[in-house]
Amino acid sequence: MKIVFITSNKGKVKEAQKYFDSIGVNIVQQKIEYPEIQAKELEEVVKFAIEWLKDKIDKPFFIDDSGLFIEALNGFPGVYSAYVFKTLGNEGILKLMEGVKNRKAYFKSVIGYYDGEIHIFKGIVNGRIGYTKRGNLGFGFDPIFIPEGFTKTFAEMTTEEKNKISHRGRALEAFSKWLKENLI
C-alpha cells in the first residue's frame, strides 16, 4: 500500500517510513506548498490545509504539523514553530530562555489523513529545553529538546529511538493502528 505524505521535510519522511515499513506501507513524498493559517491549535492548521489540498490531489494523503510549546514562554513558539525555527533557530530559542529556570516544554504532532474524509491523529511528548544544542541527528528543535525521563536530546537519538517516544511517533502509531483496522 502507498500513501502520499505532503511535506518538504525529508526528516519527517524518514521517520514516517521507518515506522510504516513494519506494516507494509510505502510513503511517497510529494512537495506541495499550501497555506498555513494562523490559528491557536495545530488541529485547525491541519484541517484547513487538508481542505485546501483535497481537490488538488486525487490519492489518499496525509500531512503533519508539529509544534514546540514552551511553558515559560506561554506556549511559544507553538503553532508558529516552523516559522520561528526558520527565523530564530535553536540559538534564538536558547537566547529567549537565558536565565529562565522553568524549562518545561512539550512537542505535539497532529497528523491529518484524507481519504474522502478527514482523520486526525495526535501525539504529545513532554520534556524540557536544554541549555545548549546537543547532537546532530534529527532536525528542527531536536538539538535543544530533552524528552521526559531521558538525558539525551532528540538530536542525540537514532530515528528508531526517537520514534518510540516522540510526538510524531505517537501520532504515527495511532495512524498506523487505524490503517490496520480500516484499510490494510
Is the link from the previous residue into 60 a cis peptide, with omega within 30 of 0? Answer: no
- The set of catalytic residues is 65
Q: Is 8 annotated as a binding residue?
A: yes
Q: Grid coordinates in use for 122?
A: 495526535
CB 154 within 8 A of CB 133: no
The reply, when asked if residue 12 is annotated as ligand binding, is yes
Alpha-carbon gap, residue 127 to 104, rounded angstroms:
6
Q: Tell me: is residue 99 an annotated ligand-binding position.
A: no
- Amino acid identity of residue 147, one-letter, is P
For residues 91 and 151, what is the distance between their CA atoms, to the nearest angstrom? 20
40 is annotated as contributing to ligand binding: no
Q: Is 36 within any annotated ligand binding site?
A: yes
Tell me if 9 is assigned to a ligand binding site. Answer: yes
Residues annotated within a binding site: 7-12, 36, 65-66, 139-142, 162, 167-168
Residues annotated within a binding site for substrate: 7-12, 66, 139-142, 162, 167-168
Residues annotated within a binding site for Mg(2+): 36, 65
